[in-house]
Structure 1
Amino acid sequence: MADKEETPAVSLKEMKKFEKWTKSLQYITGLGMTEVEKQDFKKRLDVDLEEYQCNQCEVWKDNLLKNSPPVRFMMEQLKKVDKHMSKDEFVCMPCDETRSGGFSPEFGVLLCQNRLGSKTHQEHTMVHEMVHMYDHHKFNVDWNNLKHQACSEVRAASLSGDCRWTREIQRGFFTFTKQHQTCVKRRAVLSVMQNPNCKDQEDAERAVASVFDACFADTRPFDEIY
């Protein structure tokens, strides 16, 4: 009896897989589907993709909180400045193409599930935003002040691994001299430009330039750039 009950279930599962594959092929080729069917199927694909990205982000998050040396180090350092972060303060959500993460003093760390291409990328993003969290609690940063934000952006870009040579190659940037500093400046400027109080790119560049040397040299809570 068990065999007879299992066989139809397996067949039904395979039929559903085949149906989805057929629909995917029809969607790609445009054959055999009405416009309404195409739109409905695209919505289903978008939902499936968003669920996958969310699940992947959550799995990586749990793994990094347990096993990543820089993430675990930052968790311990945050405790020393009276900020005890829980994993619930790392929120996986879809974002636009301008960011891979974000920090809010009220809500914690945003992880952009659709912008994180690997676990290493997510690790760098988590550490980046945790440096902002650390600065907020240790130095009482005024995030409306462009120079304050610029300093934290310089530190976060420098200390998180975000400007490693391999990451820059992936972005299409690489130089043989002062690559790290160039990357840190560029990414800090891009972040400061998103501040509502920033007038334009030149305003952001001035803010970053005015604090760069001192803030780049400040590697707290790390002993050095890892």
Structure 2
Amino acid sequence: MEEEEPFSSVYSAGKTLKQCESMIQKGLQTPIVRFLRERLEEAGCPVANNFFRAVNCEANISGGYIRGRGIIVCMNKIDQQDEVNQVLAHELIHAYDDCRAANLDWTNCAHHACSEIRSNHLSGDCHYKRELLRGYLKIRGHEQECIRRRAMASLSGNPNCSEAAAKDAMEAVWDVCYNDTQPFDRAP
């Protein structure tokens, strides 16, 4: 979750705007993304196609959710359709959390940590095959280590969370947030 838009209008690598927009449209048809959009609608937070934007990002991120504005996909940081699909699923879980929690405060380390734990767990970001492609070869316990590592990386971008505060927040909310699989019946 970024409060400021971490992108510029200067294009630098990855996909063109048109290519990325096409990939976003294709990603919107995937089962997990359709499911999450339906759950957002049911929760009272409809998501139109203009909720998703392809942008050039300066920060080293693949995408982000910006409250009240939507989801960005960083066209200069992605190369494959699967990456776009993952960004959409991950960020839609943040949008779902924002929708269902009336008091979610993205500047609060515990709130941010909870949503990062959930989005990394439920979106498939830490699937074994993805971890292998990233060079992480651990067989046992890889998923929880991945979730922790990726959540800490996201929290490091929150100016309100020092490394110690981020670790403490993540540990404090881990059990509740890891086991909260809404809107799914169980972790996909």
Q: TM-score, normalised by structure 2?
A: 0.89
How far the C-alpha of 1:160 sits from its partner, in A, is 0.7
The structure with the largest alpha-carbon Rg is: 1
CA deviation profile, 1:90-136 (whole Å, cap 9, x unmatched)? 01011135210111112100111111221111111101101000000
Paired residue for 1:216? 178
Aligned to 1:110: 72
Percent identity over the alignment is: 34
Q: What residue is the counterpart of 1:14 in the other structure?
A: none
**Between Structure 1 and Structure 2, which shows a larger proportion of helix residues?**
1
Residue 196 of structure 1: CA displacement?
Answer: 1.3
Query: Partner of 1:94: helix, strand, or coil?
Result: strand
Alpha-carbon deviation of 1:213? 1.2
Give the C-alpha shift of residue 82 in structure 1.
1.0
Counterpart-to-counterpart distance in 2, 1:53 and 1:170: 24
- The CA RMSD over aligned residues, in Å, is 1.7
| 2:132 paired with 1:179 | no
- 1:147-194 CA distance string (max 9 Å, x none): 011000000011111111121122222311111111001101111111
Among candidates 162, 166, 183, match of residue 125 of structure 2: 162
Structure 2 CA distance for partners of 1:174 and 1:104, relative to 1, 3 Å: same
Q: Distance in 2 between matches of 1:105 and 1:195?
A: 14
Change (3 A) 1:205 1:58: same
Q: Match of 2:76, SS?
A: coil
Deviations 1:24-67 (A, max 9, x none): xxxxxxxxxxxxxxxxxxxxxx96957x43222111111122x3
Provide runs of 4+ in structure 1 moved above 6 Å: none
SS at match of 2:53: strand
Q: Is the 8 A contact 2:12 2:76 kept in 1?
A: no
Residue 225 (structure 1) shift: 1.8
What CA distance in whole angstroms lies between the structure 1 residues aligned with 2:90 and 2:13? 26
Equivalent-residue separation in structure 2 for 1:58 and 1:98 (angstroms): 20
Q: Hey, what does 1:10 align to over in structure 2?
A: none
Q: Which runs of 5+ in 1 are unaligned?
A: 1-45
- Tell me the residue number matched to 1:189: 152
User: Which residue type is aligned with residue 165 of structure 2?
Assistant: D
* Corresponding residue of 2:107: 144
Which runs of 5 or more structure 2 residues have no equivalent in the other structure? 1-9
The one-letter code matched in structure 2 to 1:184 is I
Seen in structure 2, the aligned counterparts of structure 1 residues 49 and 205 have a Cα distance that, compared at 3 Å, is closer
**Cα gap change, 1:117 to 1:73, in 2 (>3 Å):** same
CA contact (8 A) 2:13 2:77 kept: no
Higher relative contact order (CA 8 A, sep 6+): 2
Number of paired residues?
178
Secondary structure in 1 matching 2:16: helix
- Kept in 2: contact 1:97–1:115 (CA 8 A): no
Normalised TM-score (structure 1): 0.74
CA distance in 1 between partners of 2:11 and 2:153 (Å): 31
**Paired position in structure 1 for 2:7:** none
Q: Give me the whole-angstrom Cα distance separating, in 1, the residues matched to 2:74 and 2:43.
A: 26
